Structure 1
Amino acid sequence: MQSLAKIGILDRHFSVKTDDQTITLPLTRDPTEVEIDELRKRVPSASFEIEDFEPRTKRPRTIKEALAERVSPDVLSRLPKSFDVVGDITILELDSELTAYQTIIAEAIMEVHPNVRSVFAKSGEVSGAERIRSLRYVAGENRTLTIHKEYGCLFKVDLSKAFFSPRLSTEHQRVAQMVEKGERVIDMFAGVGPFSILIAKKVSDVRVEAIDANPQAVELLRENVRANKVESKVHPHLGNAREVIRKELRQSASRVIMNHPSASKDFIGEACDALRSSGGVFHYYTFAGENWEADSRHEIEHGVDASGFVTERVLGIHRVREVAPMRWQVAVDLKVVPRQ
C-alpha cells in the first residue's frame, strides 16, 4: 500500500478489500510496466486484475453536516454550539423540543468524533451536598466512568458519583498559575481534584489540603493523587469543609479556593478562619445575574467583613461561564487581611 501511495496511483476514494489471504487495492489508473516491475520487486506475489470496489464512506466533518439529511433545518438551527466532553463521554444539554432527537444527535456526535464512546443527556441540575448531576443515558456504552485529560493531568471521573465540569479547565489553569512556591492552599470543595492536583503539578514547593463531603468523590480524588504522583503535596480530607477546617486547618492557609457557586457564601466565615494571621487570597465562585460584577463583589466582601477581615484589594473579577440566560458563574479573586 505504501508503494502504491508513493507513486500516486492508490485510489483513496474506494475501500480496500481483504480476506484471510489477500488484500486488494483500488488504483487510479493502470500501472506502467516500470511500475509493475518495481512493485513486484517489493511484493513478488502482486497481481493486477479488474475488480469492483465500494466507494469509501466520507466521514462528516461537523455534527450539522452529519445531521443535514436526518433532521429539518429548524432542528439544525437550534442545536447547541458545543457539548461538554469528559474523557470519552459527551454530555448533551438540549431544550425540550430537541429531546425527541437526542438519539440521532448522539449518533451524529459519535460519527464525527470516533473517540466519543458514550453519550448522556443532562436531566437535572447539580444538587445535594455531594454535588451530583442527574444524567440520562442516550447512546453508546452505558457507563459514566472515564479518564479525563487536562493540562497534563489525568483524572478518573465517574459522572454519576462526583461533580466535574470540563468548562472549568481554564479556571483550573488560571488559579494554578497564581500560586507561588511555599504556599499552603485549601481547596474547600475539591471534588476529584482538578484544582488541587494541577496546582501540585505546576508548583514545586506547595501543600494542598483538598476537602470534599462526598465519599465517592474523595475516593476518586485519592486515586487521582496517586495516578498523578502528587501524594507528597495533595492531602485529601473527607468531610464538611466547615468541620474539617475547624478541627484541623484553622489559621493554616495562604490561599483558599471556594468553587461551590451555589453555597460558597455560606462558608466565607470558615474560609477566613482557615487563613493565616497575616491574611491571604480567596478564589471565590458564585452565581450572579445582570449586575454580576457588583453583586459578586458585594457578596464576598460583605461576608469577609462580617468575619473580622477586610478586603485589601480585588485581584480580579470575571464571568466564567453562562449557566442560564443572563445568569453566570463568576470568579472573584481578592486579597484579605485581618481588621486592625
Structure 2
Amino acid sequence: MSSTATIDTSPPTNRGMRGALNRDAFRKSIPLLAVRVPAAQTTKFMKSDIVKSRVLDIPKVRTVIPDAQDSKSRLVLLRDKDEESLSPEIRSFIEKEALGFAPYNLELDYSYWTADEILQAVLPEHLCETSPTSFTITGHLAHINLKDEYLPYKYVIGQVILDKHKGLRTVVNKLDNIDTEFRFFKMEVIAGESDFVVEAHEANCKFTFDFSSVYWNSRLHTEHERLVSLFNPGDVIADVFAGVGPFAIPAAKKGCVVFGNDLNPSSAKYMQKNADDNQVNDRVRVSNVDGREYIRQIASEAWHRPFPPLGLPKSSKQRAREKRNQQQAKIDGPATAPDDLLPSRRRIDHFVMNLPGTALEFLDSFRGILAPFKALPDFKTIYDTMPMVHCHCFTKEIETADAITDIRRRAERALGHALPEETTFHFVRAVAPKKDMYCVSFALPRDLALGGK
C-alpha cells in the first residue's frame, strides 16, 4: 500500500549547473489518483475515518482542487497512484459516497522547492552535506561567506537565495580582502542589483547606510541593546568608534546626549543622516577623527562646548500635540519656557569602544585626559564619579577564566594601570573557533585620568 513517503517530491537532479540558473530544468510531474466528490459533500467526505488516511498530505499542495470537468464537483487527491493500491473497504466507501475516480498529474516546478532543496539538486554530491544556505540579511541585501569549493557555483547559489526570499534585491559574497582601516569587507554581487544602500531597523530606530563602505553586524543587536540599557536619560556618551550609530542613535532616543565619532567618512556621514532621520540630531554630535585623537580631546569638548539643556525625546504623537500647542500659542500669546529640560552636562558618563580587533590598544589614550581641568574649582563636583569605559575585544581563550585573565592582562598593559576591582567581563558572542568577543567595562581610574600612574 502506498504512503506519503513513497511519493518522491524531490526536485530533478541537475548537478554541476553553473553560470545562469535554468529554472525550467526544475519541473516534475507526479501521477496520482483523485476522487471526484460533489462540492457540497467534500467536507463530510474528508472527515471520514475510512478515507482520511489515504488523502494526500504533502507540504504546500492543496488536497482539494477544482474539477476541470464539472464545476459542481471537486477532486480530492489521494496519496495513491491507482485504484489497485486501495483496500476493498476504501474502494467500496468511495464507490458509495463519491462520483468515481479520476487520474491526476501533480505538476511541481521551481517555485515549489526551497532554496536548500534546489541547491541539493544542483551542487556536486560531495558539497551537499553543508549546503551554503546560511546568510545574513541587512535590509534588502543578503550577505553570504562562500568557501572556495562553492565559488564555481556562486551565481547559481546567489540567484536561488534571491528567488526564495521575498524582499531581497541583492546578494553579495564576502571576498578575502578586508579594509583594515575602516573595517568593512570587499564584496562581489552574485545576484540581483548592485544596490548597497540599505535600510535596517533596530531598537525602534531606522538606519540607512552603504553596506559596501561601512561596518554593520546584525548579530550584535543584543549587545547594542544591552549596553544602551546601562545608560540613563541625560547621560553624556562618548562613542569612540560609533560606525553608523547602532549605540549612538538608540542612546539619543533614550534621552542621552552623544558625541559620536568614526574615522570612516562614510560611517560619519550616515551616522549624521541616521540622527536626522530618527529626529535626534539635537542630541548627537558627529565627528570624523582618529579614535586616539578623539579620546584625548573629547573631555575638553564636553567641558567647554556641552550640549544645551534638552528635554527627553518626544514620540510622534507628543510632537504633533506640541505643534498644535505652538500654533495655539500664536493666538493666546507667548508660551512659557518648558520646565522639563534636563540640565546641561559637562561630565562624560560613558565611553563606548566597539572596535574589538584593536580597541584595547587605544586605552593608553585615557592617561591624563582630565588633567587640564583638575585645578578648576568645580571639577570635583562635576567629576564626583568617573566615566565608565566599555571596551569590546577579541580573545583566543575559550574558557571563561582564561579569557578574563587574557583580557585583563592586555587591558592593564595598555592602560599602564591596574583595572578596578569592580571591572566586569561580559561575553558577547563566539565569532569563530577559538575566537570569542567580550566587553570589558570599568570605571576610569581617577589617578590615571588626572595624569598619574
Match of 1:82 in 2: 134
Cα 1:8/1:264, change in 2 over 3 Å: farther
Aligned with residue 396 of structure 2, among 282, 285, 289? 289
TM-score (norm 2): 0.59
8 Å CA contact retained: 1:107, 1:139: yes
Residues 68-116 of structure 1: CA deviation (Å, up to 9, x unaligned): 2111343222235731221111111121112222212212211221211
Match of 1:120 in 2: 172
Structure of larger gyration radius: 2
Aligned with residue 196 of structure 2, among 125, 134, 144? 144
Match of 1:278 in 2: 385
CA distance in 2: counterparts of 1:58 and 1:180, whole angstroms: 53
Cα 1:129/1:249, change in 2 over 3 Å: farther
CA distance in 1: counterparts of 2:278 and 2:106, whole angstroms: 47
The one-letter code sitting in structure 2 at the alignment partner of 1:325 is P
Aligned with residue 317 of structure 1, among 402, 426, 433? 426
Return the structure number with greater strand share.
1
Residues 266-322 of structure 1: CA deviation (Å, up to 9, x unaligned): 211334656756322222111210343321232223333x15x74241233214231
Shift of 1:328: 2.4
The one-letter code sitting in structure 1 at the alignment partner of 2:391 is Y
Cα 1:109/1:97, change in 2 over 3 Å: same
CA distance in 2: counterparts of 1:81 and 1:295, whole angstroms: 35
Match of 1:27 in 2: 66
Cα 1:285/1:248, change in 2 over 3 Å: closer
Residues 140-171 of structure 1: CA deviation (Å, up to 9, x unaligned): 11122111112221111212221111121111
CA RMSD after TM alignment = 3.1
The one-letter code sitting in structure 2 at the alignment partner of 1:255 is H
CA distance in 2: counterparts of 1:155 and 1:235, whole angstroms: 17
CA distance in 1: counterparts of 2:196 and 2:223, whole angstroms: 24
Shift of 1:186: 0.8
Structure 1: gaps of 5 or more residues: 1-6, 15-25, 34-52
Cα 1:61/1:258, change in 2 over 3 Å: farther
CA distance in 1: counterparts of 2:299 and 2:440, whole angstroms: 23
Match of 1:210 in 2: 260
Shift of 1:120: 0.9
Match of 1:258 in 2: 353
Shift of 1:60: 5.4
Q: Is the counterpart of residue 223 in structure 1 residue 273 in structure 2?
A: yes
Which range moves more in the overlay, 327-336 or 99-108?
327-336
The one-letter code sitting in structure 2 at the alignment partner of 1:96 is D
The one-letter code sitting in structure 2 at the alignment partner of 1:332 is V
Please list, as runs of the form range in 1=range in 2, the aligned pairs for 1:191-206 lying within 5 A after superposition.
191-201=243-253, 203-204=254-255, 206=256
| 1:331 alignment partner, SS class | strand
Match of 2:81 in 1: none
The one-letter code sitting in structure 2 at the alignment partner of 1:311 is P
| 2:122 alignment partner, SS class | coil
Which range moves more in the overlay, 240-249 or 113-122?
240-249
The one-letter code sitting in structure 1 at the alignment partner of 2:201 is K
CA distance in 1: counterparts of 2:42 and 2:274, whole angstroms: 48
CA distance in 2: counterparts of 1:107 and 1:244, whole angstroms: 44
Cα 1:289/1:58, change in 2 over 3 Å: same
| 2:247 alignment partner, SS class | helix
Aligned length: 298
8 Å CA contact retained: 1:106, 1:139: yes
The one-letter code sitting in structure 1 at the alignment partner of 2:208 is K
Report % sequence identity: 24
8 Å CA contact retained: 1:133, 1:159: no
The one-letter code sitting in structure 1 at the alignment partner of 2:240 is M
The one-letter code sitting in structure 1 at the alignment partner of 2:156 is I
CA distance in 1: counterparts of 2:433 and 2:299, whole angstroms: 39
8 Å CA contact retained: 1:210, 1:237: yes
CA distance in 1: counterparts of 2:362 and 2:207, whole angstroms: 26
8 Å CA contact retained: 2:120, 2:131: no
